């Protein structure tokens, strides 16, 4: 039995080796996706084009404007038409993603005119980036302004206290008999000349309410560390499923399946013999994306690597089963490719790899949980980025294990039936 | 005989260094069914395409210019598998410029003629091999071309369907059409008025099948073992056959060995064996003309 | 005389449709048996039954002494099969194809290598052993497929339409190979719908609509049904009789 399986696997290896186009695909596509998902699908925008219109004419306004200008993530554009209408027009023409408008009256003492920040909602990521960044852009100004406000408050308080002290002193003097007035007056003047006791504003100054922001695990909010773990699974899923399916379908198309059926080869042996080479394909692609990803994007794997590899094997088995299942449905290689696409793409989109599960409508979420890949993503991300272990990930791991057994079982049943 | 509907005069065709056909002289007259027989690679398809005007000769000429007036049926005739029988026929009728009413009338008549009328609404992809060829045939003749050229229309079709198909072709010839058919099956030569034997791009001979067969300069005989039952030991039979005087070639066939013998004097049966004359076939003539003996006796 | 194949009333149904209908067949060891019939007559189903790939709906049969219903594995281990489409791996070399099929049938090591060399020589493919099977011409592919089918020295060889689409000279050479095997004791069963091929067989069986309508030597059939014509007349006559 082993020999027959070996003969089949060996034949399949030779065929894979000779199929230059598929070999290239095996290497080129994962790398292409790696680059796409790692670099191109970045959600951070480095140079946000921002228009700045300062009509305030105040010092505060100028301070804000200068802080904005100096903020390195903003690419400040001075509009030809520095008015509200000009801003609208610039948005319309896609010239800017964000605009900061300091209306007249902003920064004037006692004025409640607020600074306005406008964002282009048609570019989701830019808008979200802008909204997030404005905080840190305003940081230096706000610190200054706080300091200034405190100082002014202190001065104001001091002078008012002084004025009140003088009024009281005067009132007091009038109460005293005229012969004593000059003496009292001198004494009081001497007292008030003495340096005023320092006022501790700490007890009464408003507490800072702007939060100090710390981003854990992926401080630069780069997309690579978030995408690559999931990408590992995606690549394996696509390549293994597709190639396994094509390997079987090709046999059928060329008529050699008919010949195999009449040999002593049993259906089980045929299945295993077909799967083995593609198992190695899956592992190879996994390794390729892992090492390329770690190297190109300077990632570090935080968790237990052997455990991760073991759990990833579960995914490989599932996809092998999927490929077998596909082969019982597809009638030619072209169909196999189409079906593989149809199986992989939706899974990727709803699995939580790119868009968070919770951002999907509830119904879609439930559907997503039916897909095996959806359970691989938290494992990959959790282990890669946070170094989580089984104590946290046992649920998705169990589900994935269940899936791998279930899919392979169903696939082999159908496969056997199809052969007969 | 009237002037030919198609004539190939000294036609040769090269594809680069490869000569597909050379020095072909062939004429097909109206009302005549001519078969071109040869194995794969002999040049049948090339000749068919040259005759139909789908290919230009490297040398010689094809007369007359017959584009549009030829019904051409290639080996891989593309019927549309996802259209019905009727829709296919209608399509080809329209492509050849027939009006709707003409197409409908002719279409019905033709479908009845080939026995496909009750299958009008069946998808062409669901037809059996023989039926598909019949449909292909009617699609090729719907526009009444005076000349019909068919390239291997009966390959991989079972014998009953093949016999029927040839009867249809004979009818077409009787109605005055000039019909040229290529086929790898030598036995189909008997359906034709004249047959051309094609071998490696050359026409070995053209004529009536019976005439060609009679040209064979050898006597065909069959050697059999006289002991009944048991396993015929062919190795032995062949050795005995090859030792006969005047033997040109031997060919084991069934329980005996067929032998081609030269010379006037027929040898006597060797002891323990039976040796009897058998009729020569067109295949024997073909093998003689293509110098088969030289090829085979080399071993 | 020992029988390589024997069936009694062998039947196979697919739902309402009866593909093989009460076929009783006897094929003597070492003979060359031809099964003739049009496409769809049930020849392929019969072969699948004989190879134990399908279970009979009725009747019984034995191939090389093994009952069809219970010892299908043993049959497949000992019988050889060559299909209509010459199931070769186009992207493997001639030698690799032979090795693969040899391994599948249990040959290994030096036994495999020796047998492979032997067949390469026998089929005239020694010089081409490193060529891709896909590059070979029709006649050579046929020979390679044949060699692959006999790597394991099967006592019974089933050939399904082996010479369809092959020219007359190649066909003759192919039959030389078959006769060689037959002389050494191999039983050969050939299915075909090409009448000329029928002439090569010792015994013939005509299959129509799943039934075995006639059996005997080519001569016997010609005399009984030929009406003076050749085997195709036999065929047509039987077929038209069947339709009535």
Distance from CA of B292 to the nearest CA of C (A): 8
> What value does the CA radius of gyration of chain A take, rounded to a whole number of Å?
35
The whole-number pLDDT of residue A415 equals 87
The whole-number pLDDT of residue A261 equals 80
CB proximity B292 to C under 8 Å:
yes
- Asked whether the predicted pLDDT for residue C81 surpasses 80, the reply is yes
**pLDDT > 90 in chain A, percent:** 17
The whole-number pLDDT of residue A260 equals 82
Q: How confident is the model at residue A297 (pLDDT cuts 50, 70, 90)?
A: confident
Two structure tokens written together for C174: 């192919």
CB proximity B242 to C under 8 Å:
no
The whole-number pLDDT of residue A22 equals 85
The whole-number pLDDT of residue B299 equals 39
CB proximity C153 to A under 8 Å:
no
Give contacts of C183 with chain B, Cβ < 8 Å.
231, 233-235
Rounded Cα–Cα distance for residues B258 and B275 (Å) = 10
Tell me the sheet residues that pair with A31.
none
Look over chain A and give the mean of its residue pLDDT values, rounded to a whole number. Answer: 84
Cis peptide before C145 (omega within 30 of 0): no
Q: Which of B159, B186, B283 sits opposite C235 (nearest CB)?
A: B159
The whole-number pLDDT of residue C164 equals 67
Rounded Cα–Cα distance for residues B252 and C124 (Å) = 19
The whole-number pLDDT of residue C92 equals 92
Could you identify the residue written with the tokens 């010479």? C163
A contact chains, 3+ CB pairs < 8 A = C
Cβ atoms B142, B110 nearer than 8 A: yes
CB proximity B126 to C under 8 Å:
no
Per-residue confidence in pLDDT tens, chain B, 299 aa: 578 889 999 999 999 888 899 999 999 999 999 999 987 778 898 999 899 888 889 999 988 765 557 788 876 666 787 788 998 888 888 877 788 888 899 899 999 988 888 999 998 888 887 888 888 888 888 888 889 999 888 876 777 788 888 999 999 999 999 999 998 888 888 899 999 999 889 999 999 999 999 999 999 999 888 765 555 577 788 888 888 888 888 888 877 888 999 887 888 888 888 888 998 988 889 888 887 666 655 43
Please provide residue B97's backbone torsions phi and psi, each rounded to the nearest 5 degrees: 90, 15
Cβ atoms B66, B6 nearer than 8 A: yes
* DSSP label at residue B145: -
- Select the more confidently predicted residue: B52 or C110: C110
The whole-number pLDDT of residue A28 equals 92
CB proximity A417 to C under 8 Å:
no
- Asked whether the predicted pLDDT for residue C243 surpasses 70, the reply is no
Could you identify the residue written with the tokens 């992809």? B125
pLDDT in tens, C116-158: 999 999 888 899 999 999 888 777 888 899 999 999 999 999 9
Distance from CA of B155 to the nearest CA of C (A): 7
Tell me the sheet residues that pair with B75.
none
The answer to whether the CB atoms of C83 and A18 lie below 8 A apart is no
Look over chain B and give the mean of its residue pLDDT values, rounded to a whole number. Answer: 85
Listed residue (B180, B184, B156) closest to B43, CA to CA: B184
Strands (E), A18-120: 48-54, 74-77, 98-102, 116-119
Please provide residue C26's backbone torsions phi and psi, each rounded to the nearest 5 degrees: -135, 125
The whole-number pLDDT of residue B75 equals 63
Q: Which of A18, A255, A263 sits opposite C104 (nearest CB)?
A: A263
Give contacts of B252 with chain C, Cβ < 8 Å.
175-176, 179, 200
The whole-number pLDDT of residue A43 equals 63
CB proximity B239 to C under 8 Å:
no
The whole-number pLDDT of residue B166 equals 92
Cβ atoms C82, C146 nearer than 8 A: yes
- Select the more confidently predicted residue: C59 or A41: C59
CB proximity A144 to C under 8 Å:
no
pLDDT in tens, A350-391: 888 888 888 889 999 998 998 999 999 999 988 988 888 888
User: In chain A, which among 261-280 make CB contacts under 8 A with chain C?
Assistant: 261-266
For residue C178, the surrounding DSSP H or E stretch is: helix C168-183
* CB pairs < 8 Å spanning A and C: 68
Distance from CA of C218 to the nearest CA of B (A): 8
Q: How confident is the model at residue A161 (pLDDT cuts 50, 70, 90)?
A: confident
Give contacts of B161 with chain C, Cβ < 8 Å.
38
Between the alpha carbon of residue C231 and those of residues B98, C215, C217, C236, the distances in Å are 43, 13, 11, 9
B17-42 burial by CB neighbour count: b if 16+ within 10 A, else e? Answer: eebbbbebebbbbbbbbbbbbbbbeb
CB proximity C22 to A under 8 Å:
no
Rounded Cα–Cα distance for residues A132 and A309 (Å) = 37
3-state helix, strand, coil in chain B (%, to 5): 35, 30, 35
Rounded Cα–Cα distance for residues A336 and A245 (Å) = 6
CB proximity B159 to C under 8 Å:
yes
Please provide residue C71's backbone torsions phi and psi, each rounded to the nearest 5 degrees: -120, 45
CB proximity B160 to C under 8 Å:
yes
Rounded Cα–Cα distance for residues B205 and C144 (Å) = 33
Give contacts of C53 with chain A, Cβ < 8 Å.
261-262, 420
The whole-number pLDDT of residue B10 equals 93
Give contacts of C100 with chain A, Cβ < 8 Å.
7, 10-11
Q: What is the mean pLDDT of residues C63-88?
A: 88
Could you identify the residue written with the tokens 């690419």? A75
Cβ-based neighbours of C22, under 8 Å, separated by 6 or more? C9, C10, C11, C58, C59, C211
The whole-number pLDDT of residue B162 equals 83
Rounded Cα–Cα distance for residues A263 and A268 (Å) = 13
User: In chain C, which among 74-133 make CB contacts under 8 A with chain B?
Assistant: none
- Asked whether the predicted pLDDT for residue A23 surpasses 70, the reply is yes
Give contacts of A254 with chain C, Cβ < 8 Å.
85, 87, 89-90
Please state which of the ranges A249-258, C24-33, C48-57 shows the lowest mean pLDDT. A249-258
Q: How confident is the model at residue C167 (pLDDT cuts 50, 70, 90)?
A: low
Listed residue (C162, C183, C158, C151) closest to C30, CA to CA: C183
Establish whether chain C is in contact with chain A, requiring a minimum of 3 CB pairs below 8 angstroms. yes
Tell me the sheet residues that pair with B61.
B9
The whole-number pLDDT of residue B82 equals 77
Tell me the sheet residues that pair with B249.
B260
CB proximity C53 to A under 8 Å:
yes
Q: Which of C37, C164, C232 sits opposite B156 (nearest CB)?
A: C164
The whole-number pLDDT of residue A55 equals 87
Q: How confident is the model at residue C65 (pLDDT cuts 50, 70, 90)?
A: very high
In the 3-class helix/strand/coil scheme, how is B160-179 assigned residue by residue? HHHHHHHHHHHHHHHCCCEE
The whole-number pLDDT of residue A146 equals 76
Strands (E), chain C: 3-14, 17-28, 32-36, 58-63, 66-67, 79-82, 156-160, 187-192, 203-208, 211-216
The answer to whether the CB atoms of A262 and C96 lie below 8 A apart is no
Which of C39, C218, C235, C238 should one mutate to test binding to chain B, selecting the residue with the greatest count of B CBs within 10 A? C39
pTM of the predicted structure, to 2 decimals: 0.70
Q: What is the mean pLDDT of residues C77-81?
A: 92
The whole-number pLDDT of residue B171 equals 93
Q: How confident is the model at residue C25 (pLDDT cuts 50, 70, 90)?
A: very high
CB proximity B297 to C under 8 Å:
no
The whole-number pLDDT of residue C131 equals 92
Helix (H, G, I), strand (E, B) or coil at C190: strand
Going across the sheet that includes B6-15, the strands are B18-28, B6-15, B59-63
């Amino acid at each position: 039995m082993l020999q027959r399986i070996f003969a089949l696997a060996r034949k399949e290896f030779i065929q894979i080796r000779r199929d230059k186009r598929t070999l290239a695909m095996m290497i080129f596509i994962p790398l292409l996706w790696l680059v796409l998902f790692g670099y191109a699908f970045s959600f951070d925008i480095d140079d946000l084009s921002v228009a700045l219109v300062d009509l305030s004419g105040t010092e505060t306004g100028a301070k804000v404007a200068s802080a904005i200008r100096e903020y390195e993530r903003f690419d400040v554009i001075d509009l030809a038409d520095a008015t509200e209408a000009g801003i609208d027009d610039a948005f319309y023409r896609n010239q800017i993603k964000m605009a900061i408008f300091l209306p007249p009256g902003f920064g004037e003492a006692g004025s409640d005119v607020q600074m306005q920040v406008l964002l282009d909602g048609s570019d989701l990521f830019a808008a979200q980036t802008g909204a997030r960044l404005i905080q840190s852009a305003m940081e230096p100004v706000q610190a200054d302004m706080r300091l200034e406000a405190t100082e002014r408050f202190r001065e104001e308080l001091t002078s008012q206290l002084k004025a009140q002290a003088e009024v009281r002193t005067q009132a007091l003097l009038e109460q005293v008999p005229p012969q004593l007035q000059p003496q009292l007056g001198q004494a009081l003047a001497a007292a008030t000349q003495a340096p005023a006791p320092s006022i501790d504003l700490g007890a009464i100054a408003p507490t800072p309410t702007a939060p100090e922001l710390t981003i854990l695990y992926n401080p630069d909010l780069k997309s690579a560390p978030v995408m690559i773990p999931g990408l590992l699974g995606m690549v394996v899923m696509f390549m293994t499923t597709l190639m396994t399916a094509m390997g079987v379908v090709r046999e059928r198309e060329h008529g050699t399946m008919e010949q195999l059926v009449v040999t002593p080869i049993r259906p089980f042996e045929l299945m295993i013999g077909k799967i083995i080479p593609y198992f190695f394909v899956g592992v190879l692609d996994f390794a390729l994306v892992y090492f390329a990803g770690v190297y190109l994007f300077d990632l570090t794997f935080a968790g237990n690597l052997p455990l991760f590899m073991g759990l990833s094997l579960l995914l490989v088995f599932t996809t092998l089963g999927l490929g077998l299942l596909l082969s019982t449905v597809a009638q030619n290689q072209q169909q196999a490719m189409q079906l593989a696409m149809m199986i992989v793409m939706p899974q990727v989109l709803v699995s939580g790899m790119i868009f968070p599960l919770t951002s999907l409508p509830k119904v879609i979420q439930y559907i997503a949980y039916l897909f095996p890949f959806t359970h691989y993503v938290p494992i990959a991300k959790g282990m890669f980025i946070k170094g989580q272990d089984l104590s946290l990930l046992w649920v998705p791991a169990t589900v994935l294990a269940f899936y791998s057994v279930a899919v392979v079982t169903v696939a082999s049943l159908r496969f056997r039936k199809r052969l007969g | 005989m009237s002037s030919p509907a198609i004539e190939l005069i000294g036609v040769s065709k090269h594809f680069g260094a490869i000569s597909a056909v050379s020095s072909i002289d062939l004429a097909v007259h109206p009302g005549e069914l001519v078969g071109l027989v040869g194995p794969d690679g002999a040049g049948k398809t090339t000749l068919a395409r040259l005759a139909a005007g789908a290919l230009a000769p490297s040398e010689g000429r094809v007369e007359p210019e017959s584009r549009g007036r030829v019904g051409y049926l290639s080996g891989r005739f593309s019927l549309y598998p996802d259209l019905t029988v009727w829709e296919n026929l209608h399509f080809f009728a329209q492509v050849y410029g027939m009006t709707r009413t003409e197409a409908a009338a002719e279409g019905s008549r033709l479908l009845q003629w080939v026995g496909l009328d009750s299958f009008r609404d069946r998808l062409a992809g669901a037809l059996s091999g023989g039926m598909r060829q019949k449909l292909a045939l009617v699609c090729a003749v719907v526009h009444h071309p005076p000349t019909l050229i068919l390239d291997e229309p009966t390959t991989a079709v079972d014998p009953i369907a093949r016999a029927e198909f040839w009867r249809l072709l004979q009818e077409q010839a009787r109605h005055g059409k000039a019909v040229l058919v290529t086929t790898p099956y030598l036995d189909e030569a008997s359906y034709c008025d004249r047959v051309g034997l094609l071998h490696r791009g050359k026409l070995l001979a053209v004529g009536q099948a019976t005439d060609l067969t009679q040209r064979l300069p050898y006597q065909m005989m069959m050697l059999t073992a006289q002991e009944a039952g048991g396993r015929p030991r062919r190795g032995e039979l062949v050795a005995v056959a090859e030792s006969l005087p005047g033997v040109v070639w031997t060919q084991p066939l069934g329980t005996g060995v067929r032998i081609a013998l030269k010379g006037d004097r027929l040898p006597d049966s060797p002891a323990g064996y039976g040796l009897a004359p058998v009729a020569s076939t067109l295949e024997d003539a073909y093998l003689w003309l293509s110098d088969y003996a030289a090829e085979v006796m080399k071993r | 005389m020992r029988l390589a194949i024997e069936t009694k009333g062998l039947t196979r149904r697919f739902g309402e449709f009866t593909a093989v209908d009460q076929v009783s067949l006897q094929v003597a060891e070492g003979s060359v048996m031809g099964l003739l019939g049009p496409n769809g007559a049930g020849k392929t189903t019969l072969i699948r039954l004989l190879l134990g790939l399908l279970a009979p709906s009725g009747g019984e049969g034995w191939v090389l002494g093994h009952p069809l219903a219970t010892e299908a594995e043993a049959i497949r281990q000992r019988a050889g099969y060559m299909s209509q489409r010459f199931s070769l791996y186009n992207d493997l070399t001639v030698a690799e194809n032979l090795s693969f099929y040899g391994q599948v049938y249990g040959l290994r090591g030096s036994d495999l290598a020796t047998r492979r060399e032997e067949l390469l020589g026998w089929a005239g493919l020694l010089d081409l052993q490193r060529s891709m099977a896909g590059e070979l011409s029709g006649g050579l592919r046929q020979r390679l497929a044949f060699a692959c089918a006999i790597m394991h020295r099967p006592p019974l060889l089933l050939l399904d339409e082996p010479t369809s689409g092959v020219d007359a000279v190649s066909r003759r050479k192919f039959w030389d190979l078959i006769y060689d095997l037959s002389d050494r004791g191999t039983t050969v069963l050939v299915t075909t719908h090409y009448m000329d091929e029928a002439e090569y067989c010792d015994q013939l069986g005509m299959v129509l609509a799943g039934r075995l309508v006639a059996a005997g030597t080519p001569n016997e059939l010609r005399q009984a049904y030929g009406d003076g014509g050749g085997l195709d007349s036999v065929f047509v006559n039987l077929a038209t009789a069947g339709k009535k």
